[in-house]
Chains A and B, each alone.
Chain A
């Protein structure tokens, strides 16, 4: 809308992001005065409905927050409950957890790269349009995604909301032969991931290096997925139990998802953060692939997140194959977890970034308090800062192009709004309507 020298760039309903949200940038007298990621999905109050439930239930209940990253919820939940109960699972269980998590990274990253993000770089309005001109490329992406889904199903019983995960481990350990049957498919996915890296590295990226404070897990021996300490580029190095001493969530009027700050500062979690804080932990072959794609040890251009995702895709395929080759079925498949009155903390790396869970339980295993902080909630402020700083020097662009590029600036972070609002009812019948009015 235009009022005098006031101009608004508005996308009421973003496409190719999970969930319901929009963006709005207000320009007054040639300056960006406001940049908002509007999240209007109603919250589903998962934290409240967990109160009064048994300590064994969070993996199944919280998995329902998201159909794309249910394993992340299950793993952070298990870790937090086991922390409260002072239980340590076996190395075999840890490895099997890492394996199913690799499946989730593979399916989630493949989906985002091929069907949600690549169309932006190639000038297509959707993955379907991309498929019409480049069917072989999209078929490759779907094949990678299927490898991830099949891995999740082999370990988790099914690919969406797996049912084999429990506090303490798994209900059943898959036989070696069941996992080895996936090797040809994963080898192909690995090869396809290498081609993916080469493909996305050739896209055109706007120069937009940011001064992010990155936050991700860090682990002494491995690229972080299932465990580690919480680290940041400003030197933060804390255990998940110390999360609440540094990270604060608060409400803003334009979002049903809470915003989050680290000691008062905006920060970013997700693939860029993971890579920038941990690239040295990637296997040499994956590091070489990253170099060939033009990545340095760190990457602070959010438009290049598609390249980082592709690198992580290759890593997840490699890691899954390694874990399958070295697989020893956990016996028993789960350790006994006895409740005790305590608070436990869990942090894992969901495909979109750090996912924090905290549970307080009583001696009989009743949950009295729960806190869940998904990555998209944490990234909202960084996304808004991206929007503000990206739009500011581009205000002379034609309106349609600028609006579309601002949308892309949001999609760079693969926001999962449903996770952020803990809500999943997706019912919008209206097609995207750009109500913005060009300044006259």
Chain B
């Protein structure tokens, strides 16, 4: 099973970028071709979300001080960079969840994805123009990868 998971908070501006990509991928693919999910909240739930999937693509917003709209690619074959790690502790960062899954032997055969640097995470805001452009770019690249069977 190929699984695409968008991660984020729909009510916090550019934090919704990952969810926006997931929705666009769902609209652009046929049911059964790709499974698309949206994850809001506890990222530890990823461990269960991707159980049974062989190839998983994650899309999440990033707040690392980079230029808004920048797209970062990652492949979980390698440890994620600090960009995907935030402090806080009861809420685990994407990098932490991936390392925990690696330790538990619960990583899918292939796990890769995209981070989108956000401009604003204000409550109630929509996507910024920079994040919107990045959402379009990531969707296009991801659909291309999925089509090519990467």
Contacts and interface: CB of A to CB of B under 8 A. Distances in A.
Interface in A65-95: 67-68
A99 interface: no
Interface stretch (A153-161, A245-253, A270-278, A337-345): A153-161
B80 to A, nearest CB: 12
B32 to A, nearest CB: 26
A67 B103 contact: no
A426 B87 contact: yes
Interface string B96-140: 100110011100000000000000000000000000000000000
A18 B88 contact: yes
B42 A159 contact: yes
B103 A132 contact: yes
B142 to A, nearest CB: 26
B89 A138 contact: no
Interface in B63-111: 63-65, 82, 86-91, 96, 99-100, 103-105
B87 A16 contact: no
B41 to A, nearest CB: 4
A135 B105 contact: yes
Nearest to B88: A426
Given A128-B99, A135-B103, A426-B86, A149 B91 contact: no
Contact of A131 (B64, B87, B100): B100
Interface in A135-180: 135, 138-139, 142, 145-146, 149, 158-161
B90 A128 contact: no
Closest 3 CB pairs of A and B: A426-B88, A160-B41, A131-B103
B45 interface: yes
Contacts of A427: 63, 86-87
A15 interface: yes
What class of interface size applies to chain B in its complex with A?
A: 20 to 34
Interface of A: 13, 15-20, 67-68, 111, 116, 127-128, 131-132, 135, 138-139, 142, 145-146, 149, 158-161, 416, 426-429
Interface of B: 40-42, 44-45, 47-48, 63-65, 82, 86-91, 96, 99-100, 103-105
Nearest to A136: B104
Nearest to A13: B87
A145 B44 contact: yes
A429 B96 contact: no
B41 A128 contact: no
Contact of A160 (B40, B65, B96): B40
A135 B99 CA distance: 12
Given A127-B100, A135-B104, A67 B90 contact: yes
Nearest to A17: B89
Nearest to A426: B88
Contact of B89 (A16, A145, A159, A429): A16
A128 B103 contact: yes
Nearest to A429: B82
19 contacts: A13-B87, A111-B90, A116-B90, A128-B96, A128-B99, A132-B103, A135-B103, A138-B103, A139-B104, A142-B104, A149-B42, A149-B45, A159-B42, A426-B87, A426-B88, A427-B63, A427-B87, A428-B86, A428-B87
A67 B91 contact: yes
B87 to A, nearest CB: 4
A428 B96 CA distance: 15
B103 A68 contact: no
Contacts of B40: 158, 160
A416 B100 CA distance: 22
Contact of B48 (A135, A146, A416): A146
A328 B41 CA distance: 30
A158 B103 contact: no
A315 to B, nearest CB: 22
Nearest to A112: B90
A19 B88 CA distance: 6
Given A135-B104, A159-B42, A429-B65, 13 more contacts: A13-B87, A18-B88, A67-B91, A128-B96, A131-B104, A132-B103, A135-B103, A139-B104, A145-B44, A146-B48, A426-B87, A428-B86, A428-B88
